[in-house]
Amino acid sequence: MTMLPPPSPKKLGLVIDLDICVGCHACAVACKEWNDGGQFGPLPDENPYGKEPLSVWFNRVHTYEVETQDNGKPPMTVHFPRSCLHCETPDCVTVCPTGASYKRAEDGIVLVDEDKCIGCQLCAWACPYGAREFSEQRGVMQKCTLCIDRIYNETLDEIDRQPACVMACPTRARHFGDLGDADSAVSKLVAERGGYDLMPEMGYKPVNKYLPPRERRDGCPSKVATPQEEKVDFSTASPLLRWMDKLLSR
Amino acid sequence: MHPALSVIFFTAVSGTGYGLLFLLGLILAADALLFSRAQALIVLATGSVFAAAGLSASLFHLGQPQRAWRALSQWRNSWLSREGVAALLSFAPVFALGFALWRDAAASTLRACAIVLAVMAVITVCCTAKIYTSLKTVHAWHNAYVLPGYLLFGLLGGAAWLWALAAMTGADDALVQRDLPVLVAVLAAACAMLKRFYWRFIDTTRHAATVESATGLGRYGAVRSVEAPHTEENYLTREMGFALARKHAATLRVIALVLFAVLPVALALPALIFRSTTLAIIHASVTALCVTAGIFVERWLFFAEAKHVVMLYYGSEHTRMSANLVYRR
Ligand code: SF4
Ligand code: SF4
């Protein structure tokens, strides 16, 4: 059913901290690894060792340079992971002619039913965030599942019931939780740090939030060591050292 | 956007087919005796073959064409689904009208079938256009010029083919040497005007989103992509990153205008003035071919010139890069 369900109280999603992401791509690799073998896999690679490899990934990490208003400061480098935002009112769901693209009523996760998908790719055209990638080999659309086969997986230890990307991040720049619950850890984090929506003008109401990078400190240029003359006071040093200083400075 | 041949063929040919069916419906509803039974059947068959061929071509765009029937299920919200349903339903009046013509049914039955056919043809083409206009992510599609464009170009294609078929089957002289060439010329001029407005619109306006709003980093200053997530192409850059160089676009716009507007007008005028049956046949057939070729170029541009907002994430450098790749291939 590609009609949107009524808004659910539970809104599972991610919070991504752009302040500390170091752009290591560990989340993207962990996602590829889990989902290639998981319930929604495989994520095929076309021509992997050839001249023009092409492959399906659910998560991609961009790097941007941001000029700061203050001219004295150096530009800021920001690493920017991009994946499905599990939007509240996304057109990727409503344009689907088959009912394959749907939003779960219970927790808001947006999924593709690959047994129904005809591979018309309209949903990928409708997504402004580039979250959907079509698999040529499988003939169906693929996208982030918020690791639904992990987060509800009772065969995993409780602590492991989180998306693979969140588990893999070495800097803890990714957080998973219920953004519909104002008291959840993720909601508090968003409130505290001013988490924001990407492209709010599209009206898709993303559930995932991004935490802005903190203003960088003064940067380095002024602190780059300008060679200074070394001054050592030998007047208080031992007679032997004084004698050596005299000898060597000659 | 990547101009896929299957989709260009689908919109161009089915549009022309429905244009032809619409005009046939209109003519039969107004005057059931203007065409002989055989003539009406020939036009009906041509129009429905075009419509069916276009619709079948769209199946080649699917990753799982054998499941295409599933696309009929979500008509409550999906324009693609509505298009499929409308297209299938439109064959009911096609068969009804064919049957009525074949059995020499009463004029009132014929008229009823013809009216339903004309209405269904318009509805189907509107649904086709809505598939594109409903995508907020593509500025060149999500605007008020696109739906009238699909309707007008469908009509132009239909009128050109109707003129050719009427001339070749020896229809009424007033129709072949006066009404239809006038209709073709007027529609060609209207299409040219609409396209000029459309091109001015896409050249001078842009999508509201920017790389600053896409990343949310605009609060600090201008944002520039320094490194893409992947070194090779991916689905997004292939499908959405297709960018046509401006100078090629300008040439192709002129070619399209010449094919769908200038030549048809130039061919219709002598047919009006000289009133010869042979001349009408030649000019009408050449016009039909020119218009069809022109619609193909116009439709190719409709895709190739359209930019998708997701490319903001890749920065403008990437758009240039993929344009080079496309030309190199
Ligand atoms: S990010 Fe794209 S695919 Fe995900 S819900 Fe939003 S519109 Fe749909
Ligand atoms: S590609 Fe599949 S999921 Fe996407 S709109 Fe088409 S049928 Fe629906």
What ipTM describes this predicted complex?
Answer: 0.92
A60 contacts in chain B (CB < 8 Å): 229-230, 234
Rg (CA), chain A: 26
A92 contacts in chain B (CB < 8 Å): none
Question: Of A40, A102, A112, A115, which is best to mutate to test ligand 2, by the most ligand atoms within 8 angstroms of its C-beta?
Answer: A112
- In this prediction, residue A221 carries a pLDDT of 53
Q: Is ligand 2 within 6 A of the CB of residue A110?
A: no
Span A123-172, pLDDT tens digits: 999 999 999 999 999 999 999 999 999 999 999 999 999 999 999 999 99
Question: Of A204, A208, A209, which is best to mutate to test ligand 1, by the most ligand atoms within 8 angstroms of its C-beta?
Answer: A204
What's the gap in Å between A41 CA and the centre of ligand 2?
17
Distance from CA of B22 to the nearest CA of A (A): 26
Q: Is ligand 1 within 6 A of the CB of residue A26?
A: no
- In this prediction, residue B320 carries a pLDDT of 38
Distance from CA of A225 to the nearest CA of B (A): 28
Cα B32 from Cα B40, distance rounded (Å): 9
Assign residue B71 a region (left: φ > 0; alpha: ψ between -120 and 50; beta: otherwise).
alpha
A12-218: CATH topology: Alpha-Beta Plaits (3.30.70)
Question: Of A89, A121, A132, A144, which is best to mutate to test ligand 1, by the most ligand atoms within 8 angstroms of its C-beta?
Answer: A132
- In this prediction, residue B326 carries a pLDDT of 40
Span A31-65, pLDDT tens digits: 999 999 988 999 999 999 999 999 999 999 999 99
Span A172-202, pLDDT tens digits: 999 999 999 999 999 999 999 999 999 999 9
CA A22 to chain centre: 10
Q: Are B150 and B129 in contact (CB under 8 A)?
A: yes
Distance from CA of A47 to the nearest CA of B (A): 12
Nearest by Cα to A63 from A31, A25, A27: A25
Query: Atom 4, ligand 2: which residue's CA is nearest?
Result: A123
Rg (CA), chain B: 22
Scanning every residue of chain A, which has its alpha carbon at the shortest distance from the alpha carbon of B84? A97
Domain assignments of chain A as residue spans, ordered by start: 12-218
Q: Is ligand 2 within 6 A of the CB of residue A94?
A: no
- In this prediction, residue B328 carries a pLDDT of 34
Cα A157 from Cα A166, distance rounded (Å): 15
Closest ligand 2 atom to A134 CA: 1
> Where does residue A175 rank: exposed (0-12), middle (13-18), buried (19+ CB within 10 A)?
buried
Series of mean pLDDT values for 10-residue runs along chain B (329 residues): 96 98 97 91 98 97 96 96 98 97 93 97 98 97 98 98 96 93 98 98 94 94 93 93 86 97 97 92 97 98 96 69 38
Q: Is ligand 2 within 6 A of the CB of residue A44?
A: no
Mutate to test the interface with B, among A24, A55, A62, A132 (most CBs of B within 10 A): A62
Q: Residue A80's pLDDT band (boundaries 50, 70, 90)?
A: very high
Cα A112 from Cα A56, distance rounded (Å): 14
Residue B220: Cβ within 10 Å count: 21
- First and final C-alpha spacing in chain B: 17
Count of helices and strands (H, E) across chain B = 13, 1
Mean pLDDT of chain A: 92
- In this prediction, residue A228 carries a pLDDT of 64
What's the gap in Å between B128 CA and the centre of ligand 2?
17
- In this prediction, residue A2 carries a pLDDT of 79
**Strand-pair partners of A82:** A60
| Contact with chain A for residue B142, Cβ under 8 A | no
Cα B295 from Cα B157, distance rounded (Å): 8
CA angle A215, A216, A218 (to 5 degrees): 125
Mutate to test the interface with B, among A122, A132, A141 (most CBs of B within 10 A): A122
Question: Of A1, A98, A113, which is best to mutate to test ligand 2, by the most ligand atoms within 8 angstroms of its C-beta?
Answer: A98
Cα B14 from Cα B57, distance rounded (Å): 9
A138 contacts in chain B (CB < 8 Å): 63
Interface of B with A in 180-219 (CB under 8 A): 208-209, 211, 213-217, 219
Q: Phi, psi (5° rounding) for residue A127?
A: -90, 120
Least confident interval from A68-77, A85-94, A143-152, B107-116: A68-77
Nearest by Cα to A104 from A209, A205, A197, A2: A2
B138 contacts in chain A (CB < 8 Å): 125
Least confident interval from A15-29, A79-93, B239-253: B239-253
Task: Give B115-144 as a DSSP string.
Answer: HHHHHHHHHHHHHHHHHHHT-TTBTTTSST
> At residue A90, does pLDDT exceed 50?
yes
Q: From the list A28, A98, A138, which residue is nearest B73 (CB)?
A: A98
Reported pTM: 0.90
Domains along chain B with CATH numbers: 1-134 (1.20.120), 172-329 (no CATH)
- In this prediction, residue A246 carries a pLDDT of 83
Q: From the list B70, B221, B309, which residue is nearest A98 (CB)?
A: B70
Interface of A with B in 153-192 (CB under 8 A): none
Cα A98 from Cα A96, distance rounded (Å): 6
Closest ligand 1 atom to A206 CA: 6
- In this prediction, residue B329 carries a pLDDT of 32
What's the gap in Å between B244 CA and the centre of ligand 1?
27
Nearest by Cα to A64 from B1, B138, B207, B317: B317
What sign results for the dihedral spanned by CA atoms B226, A45, B244, A96?
negative
What's the gap in Å between A1 CA and the centre of ligand 2?
12
Chain A / chain B CB contacts < 8 angstroms: 198
Q: Residue A68's pLDDT band (boundaries 50, 70, 90)?
A: confident
Percentage of chain A modeled with pLDDT above 70: 93
CA neighbours closer than 13 Å in the CB half-sphere of residue B29: 14
- In this prediction, residue B86 carries a pLDDT of 98
Cα A139 from Cα A31, distance rounded (Å): 21
CA separation, residue B161 to residues A145, A193, B171, B244, B291 (Å): 49, 64, 13, 31, 9
Report which bound ligand comes closest to the CA of B73. Answer: 2
